[in-house]
Amino acid sequence: MLRRDFLSSCLGTGLSTALPLGLLPGALRAEAAPLKLRELYNKDKSFSGIALGLEGKPLTVEGFMAPPLKADSTFFVLTKMPMSVCPFCETEADWPADILAIYTRRTFRTVSYSRKIEVSGLLELGPFRDPDTGFLSRVRLTGAHFDIA
Amino acid sequence: MKTSALAFAAAMAGTAVAAQDLPQASSDWFTAGQATIEAMLARKANTNTAKNVIVMVADGNGVGTNYATRLFDGQQKGMLGEENVLPYETPDFYTALVKTYNINAQTPDSAPTAGAMNTGVKQRFNLINLSESGIHDDCTTEAGNTLTTFSEIVTDMGKSVGIASTARLTHATPAAVYAKTANRNWEGAVPEGCDNSKDIATQLIDAMEAGTIDFAMGGGGRFFLPEGTEVGQSKGRRTDGVNLIERAEGFGAQFAHDTAGFDALSMDAPVLALFNDSHLEYEADRADDDEPSLADITKKAIEFLSQNENGFYLEVEAGRVDHASHAGNAYRTLTDGVAFAEAVAIADELTNDEDTLIIVTADHEHAIAFNGYCGRGSDILGLCMGVSKMGDKHSNEPLLAADGKPYTVVGFLNGSGSVLREDVNWVGARGDLTQEEATDMDYVQQALVPTSSETHSGEDVAVYAKGPWAHLVDGTLEQNVLFHVMHHAVTAE
C-alpha cells in the first residue's frame, strides 16, 4: 500500500461515510502513560505491533491539534509535532506521514496548534473518509476527548 | 607607547622560552595544539586544475547549527561532544565565513543563496538565477535576465553534472544548478499567461535532454507526473497532463523510485531517481527499503559521474536539516546533520585531493541559539547542566532560570515552540521540562516569538574546502565568491 494513501484530503466517492463505531458512552481514558503518536507506526508507515495489538481498545495518545479543517466539528487531526509551514519554502502544506484522526464525542473548542494535548478514545484502524471534509484517514481515535497535557 | 611595545617584543624574542620548557608542555591540550600547527605548516597550496568539483550544502547549517551537530555526533560516539571533529573540520580543509544576504533581503532564502554559488552573483529573494532586474513572481522579467550557471559552463568543458538532494529536486538548492525562474515555487506549473516560462521540473528534464544534467536523485515525484498518475511513492500533480518521467525515459534516461531500483541502476545512461512524492524522509524516519541514505546517494553519484574522463560537477544537498529547524525540532536537524557529515566523508574518500575540489558549506543559518552556562558534555538536545568544580564533565544538576525551571541547551528565537499563548492574548510562561522530555525525538524546543514556522537568520555560515585552489577559501567572503573559487579551479592553467 502506498504510504501516503491516507493523507489525501480531496473529496471523493465510493467509501463509507458512516462515523466509525459511532458515539461511545463514558470516559475512555486509558490508565497507562500516554502513547507517543510515532509508536503507532513502523518506519515504512505500516501499523506497528502496538497499534495492531490495541485495535478496538481504549488508549491515550499525546500530540498536537492541527488547525481544524471545519468549524464546530467533532473531527480534527492529531500530529506528533506542531504543524509548521514555511510560508515561502512550500507551495502548500503537506500532512506529515504519521498522523491520527480524532473523532470526539461532542464538538470541541479549538486548542492552539502548539499546545500539547492528550487524547483518549478507541483505536480504529482501516480507511475511512470523513463525510464532511473528505479527509481520508487510515487510523483514528473515536468517541474521543482530550485534555491539555 | 608603540615604540616601547616593539622594544619589549624584541627583548622577549631574544629570551623566548622554548615551547617544550613551558610548565604546560605536558598537557594534552598543548601537544594537540602543536600538532595542529604542524599540520597547518605542512599544507601546500594546491594549484592544480580541478577536474572535478563537488559542492555539498547542508541547508540551514550555519555556524550555530553546525556546532550543535558537532556535539550531537560526538555524543553519539560516546564523547563529551565538544571535542568532536566533523569530517570537514580537520586541518585538511581551508575555512572561511560566508555572508549570505540576498540583494534585497538581510535574511536570505535558499533560492538566491544557491543561485549565488552557481552563478557568481548575488540574487533577489525567492528568485533563481535571474539578474538583479528580475522581479519576484513576474514571469515577464525572466526574458533577458537569465544568468549562465556553473553547470552550463562545465558542460561546455565536457564535464558531467549531477544533483543529489534529500529535498525535492525542484526545491531551491538543487534547482539553482539548472533552473532560471522568477518564482522558486513554480515547481510543477507556471501561472496562466506565462507562456514563455517553464516550470522547474520541466527545466530539469530539459537540462537532462540537453546534457547539462546527467544525474538527478532526490524527491519531488509529484511535479514530474500528471494528475491521476502514481509511480512508487509519487502521486502526480501536474495539470498539463505531461509525464516527465516517461519523457526522460524516452530520451534514454534510467528511472528509479525506491532502493531496489537505486541498486539496479546501470552506469551507462543518465539517471533520474525520485524516491518520494515530496521531500525524502528525515534520516530519523527513513526506511532503508524506501530510500537510500544521503551517503549512499552521494557514493552512487560520484561513481556514475567519475566515468567522464573530463571530470564532473556535483552538488549534494542535505535539504532536511533546514526543514527540521523550521519545525523547531532540533533532534531531526542534528540527525540529518550527521547524515550530511557522513555524505561528506564518503565524497572525500572516493575522490582525490589532487584533482577534486570539495566545498562544504550551507546556504544560510536559522534562528537557533544556545543557552549557558552549561557544563561539558551537557546533552546538546537536553537540559543545560551545571559546571563541575572537579573533572571535566557537567554536574548532572540542571541549571534553573529565574522562573525556577530548567532549560535546554538549544533553543530557537521563534517558531511553533513559542511559550506565548494566543488564547491568553499572547502571554505565556515556560513549562516544566524533564531531561526525558527534552531529549525525545519529537520535542520542539522552546522559543519566544510566536511564528508558525521557525525562520532563517542572516547570520554567517562557514565554508570548508580542500583540493585544487581550496586555499582561496579564506577570510570572510560574500557567498557569490564561492562560484569564483570553483570557476578559477576548473579553468586555472
Give residue-wise pLDDT tens across range B65-110.
Answer: 999 999 999 999 999 999 999 999 999 999 999 999 999 999 999 9
What's the rounded Cα separation, in Å, for the pair B54 and B303? 13
Low-confidence winner among A42-56, A84-98, B86-100, B186-200 (lowest mean pLDDT) = A84-98
Closest residue of chain A to B423, computed from CA coordinates: A112
CB contact under 8 A, B417 and A44: no
Mutate to test the interface with B, among A9, A88, A98 (most CBs of B within 10 A): A88
Residue recorded with cell 591540550: B29
What's the rounded Cα separation, in Å, for the pair B108 and B148? 21
Closest residue of chain A to B231, computed from CA coordinates: A2
Output the average pLDDT for chain B: 96
CB contact under 8 A, A89 and B326: yes
What's the rounded Cα separation, in Å, for the pair B170 and B185? 9
> What Cα–Cα distance (Å) separates residue B388 from each residue in B71, B270, B376, B378, B399?
19, 57, 9, 11, 12
Mutate to test the interface with B, among A10, A83, A91, A118 (most CBs of B within 10 A): A91
Question: Which member of A38, A82, A94 has the closest CB to residue B416?
Answer: A82
CA dihedral over A89, A91, A95, A98, signed as positive or negative: negative
DSSP string covering B395-446, please? -S-B-B-TTS-B-BSEEESEETTBSEEGGGTTEE-PPP--HHHHTSTT----
- pLDDT of B167 reads 98
- Which chain B residues are within 8 Å of A79, Cβ to Cβ? none
Question: Which member of A81, A91, A114 has the closest CB to residue B329?
Answer: A81
Q: Angle at which helices B294-305 and B330-350 pack, to 10 degrees?
A: 30
Answer whether B186's CB lies under 8 Å from A91's CB: no
- pLDDT of A88 reads 62
Answer whether B408's CB lies under 8 Å from B371's CB: yes
- pLDDT of A10 reads 30
Q: Pull the grid cell for residue A144.
A: 474521543
- pLDDT of B8 reads 47
Phi, psi of B445 (to 5 degrees): -60, 150
pLDDT tier, B178 (very low <50, low <70, confident <90, very high otherwise) = very high
Mutate to test the interface with B, among A81, A108, A148 (most CBs of B within 10 A): A81
Q: Which of B124, B105, B202, B158 is nearest to B456 (CA)?
A: B105
CB contact under 8 A, B417 and A82: yes
CB contact under 8 A, B126 and A88: yes
Asked if residue B456 belongs to a known ligand binding site, the reply is yes
In order of their start, the domains of chain B are: 52-366+456-491 (3.40.720.10), 368-454 (no CATH)
Distance of CA B175 to the CA centre of its chain: 14
Answer whether B466's CB lies under 8 Å from B362's CB: no
Over residues B310-331, the mean pLDDT reads 98
- Which chain B residues are within 8 Å of A43, Cβ to Cβ? 285-287
pTM summary value: 0.91
- pLDDT of A14 reads 31
What's the rounded Cα separation, in Å, for the pair A34 and A119? 8
Answer whether B280's CB lies under 8 Å from B218's CB: yes
At A116, is the secondary structure helix, strand, or coil?
strand
Amino acid at the residue B336 = D
In order of their start, the domains of chain A are: 27-84+96-148 (2.40.50.140)
Low-confidence winner among A15-29, A109-123, B45-59, B409-423 (lowest mean pLDDT) = A15-29
What's the rounded Cα separation, in Å, for the pair A21 and A25? 11
Over residues B48-57, the mean pLDDT reads 98
Over residues A47-61, the mean pLDDT reads 96
- Which residues in B31-101 belong to E strands, given as ranges? 52-58, 94-99
Distance of CA A130 to the CA centre of its chain: 11
At A2, is the secondary structure helix, strand, or coil?
coil
Q: Pull the grid cell for residue B242.
A: 505531461
- pLDDT of B260 reads 97
C-alpha triplet A20, A123, A5: angle, nearest 5° = 70
pLDDT tier, A89 (very low <50, low <70, confident <90, very high otherwise) = low
- pLDDT of B27 reads 97
Q: What is the dihedral of CA B491, B111, B297, A99, to 10 degrees?
A: 180
Amino acid at the residue B44 = K
- pLDDT of B22 reads 96
What's the rounded Cα separation, in Å, for the pair B363 and B463? 10
CA dihedral over A12, A15, A21, A22, signed as positive or negative: positive
CB contact under 8 A, A91 and B440: no
Low-confidence winner among A12-26, B142-156, B391-405, B421-435 (lowest mean pLDDT) = A12-26
Residue A130, CA atoms < 13 Å, CB-side half-sphere: 26
pLDDT tier, B422 (very low <50, low <70, confident <90, very high otherwise) = confident
B454 touches chain A (CB under 8 A): yes
Query: Kind and range of the H or E element at B322?
Result: helix B320-326
Answer whether A112's CB lies under 8 Å from A80's CB: no
What's the rounded Cα separation, in Å, for the pair B359 and B350? 15
A3 touches chain B (CB under 8 A): yes
- Which chain B residues are within 8 Å of A89, Cβ to Cβ? 109-110, 171-172, 322-323, 326, 453
pLDDT at A16 over 70: no
pLDDT at B11 over 80: no
pLDDT at A2 over 80: no
Percent of chain B with pLDDT over 90: 95
pLDDT at B415 over 90: yes
A57 touches chain B (CB under 8 A): no
DSSP assignment letter at B1: -
Over residues B122-145, the pLDDT tens digits come to: 999 999 999 999 999 999 999 999
**Distance (Å) from the alpha carbon of A121 to chain B's nearest alpha carbon:** 22
CB contact under 8 A, A85 and B453: yes
| B176: number of Cβ within 10 Å | 32
Over residues B61-76, the pLDDT tens digits come to: 999 999 999 999 999 9
- pLDDT of A133 reads 85
Q: What is the dihedral of CA B226, B229, B233, B237, to 10 degrees?
A: 30
**Distance (Å) from the alpha carbon of B160 to chain A's nearest alpha carbon:** 29
| Continuous H helices in B172-307 | 172-178, 200-210, 244-250, 259-264, 294-305
A97 touches chain B (CB under 8 A): yes
Q: Which of B160, B164, B161, B207 is nearest to B308 (CA)?
A: B160
Over residues A109-136, the pLDDT tens digits come to: 889 888 899 999 999 999 999 888 888 8
Closest residue of chain B to A149, computed from CA coordinates: B431
